Structure 1
Amino acid sequence: MNINGISSISGNEMFKIDKAGFEEAQESEVSFQDFLKQSIKEVNELQVDAENKNIMLATGKIENIHDVTIASEKAKVALDLTLAVRTKVVDAYREIMRMQV
């Protein structure tokens, strides 16, 4: 049985990988600001949907509690993720502000 050795990656090959990823990121048409706005809008829509389903359940317009529970959990998970991202962004900002130039 012949076992081939692991080939190493030279510095030039790593630069090509990083450069390709950078160029791909530059070609993206969505800015971080637009992505963030869209994400917050989607979280808000999930919150509104969950609230509407809860109201409909309370008024007797919906009898399937599973749909209401799923909508509420989706809204909760989306909000938790949004808060986690916000916390990380604030922490990163504080860390940058503590840096001495």
Structure 2
Amino acid sequence: MNVVPVNNVNIHPSAGGQPLTSKTKTSFSKVLNNALDKVNQSLTKSDQSMTEIASGNVQNLHNAMIDIQKSNILLQATVEVRNKVIDAYQEMMRMQI
């Protein structure tokens, strides 16, 4: 997303049209790290749920299965995003200057 200068104030589309402040400024790497941390936490929770199911100590089978499916979907989405980024990078490398 592009930062749009308006009257010498930087407006970022994701900031809801509000001026950028130290609270709203985030780097791409921080956003990416946060997203990957959430995926990792979900996978860890899914592993715990699978262990509970396998050992027979599951308290709520319904919630355990939901956790497992959520982590599966998050992992699939992460892999697809990675594939798209790699495709875009390869396409840029094929461009002639």
Q: Which residue number in structure 1 is paired with residue 31 of structure 2?
A: 35
The one-letter amino acid paired with 1:37 is: N
- Partner Cα separation in structure 1 for residue 81 and residue 30 of structure 2: 15
Q: Which residue number in structure 2 is paired with residue 95 of structure 1?
A: 91
Change in 2 beyond 3 A, CA 1:20/1:77: farther
Percent identity between matched residues is 30
- CA RMSD in angstroms, aligned pairs only: 2.1
Structure 1 segments (4+ residues) deviating >6 Å = none
Gaps of 5+ in 1: 1-17
Greater strand share, structure number: 2
Q: Given the two structures, how large is their TM-score scaled by the length of structure 1?
A: 0.73
The structure that has the greater radius of gyration is 1
Q: Which residue number in structure 2 is paired with residue 45 of structure 1?
A: 41
Gaps of 5+ in 2: 13-18
The one-letter amino acid paired with 2:86 is: V
- Partner Cα separation in structure 2 for residue 89 and residue 42 of structure 1: 19
Q: Given the two structures, how large is their TM-score scaled by the length of structure 2?
A: 0.75
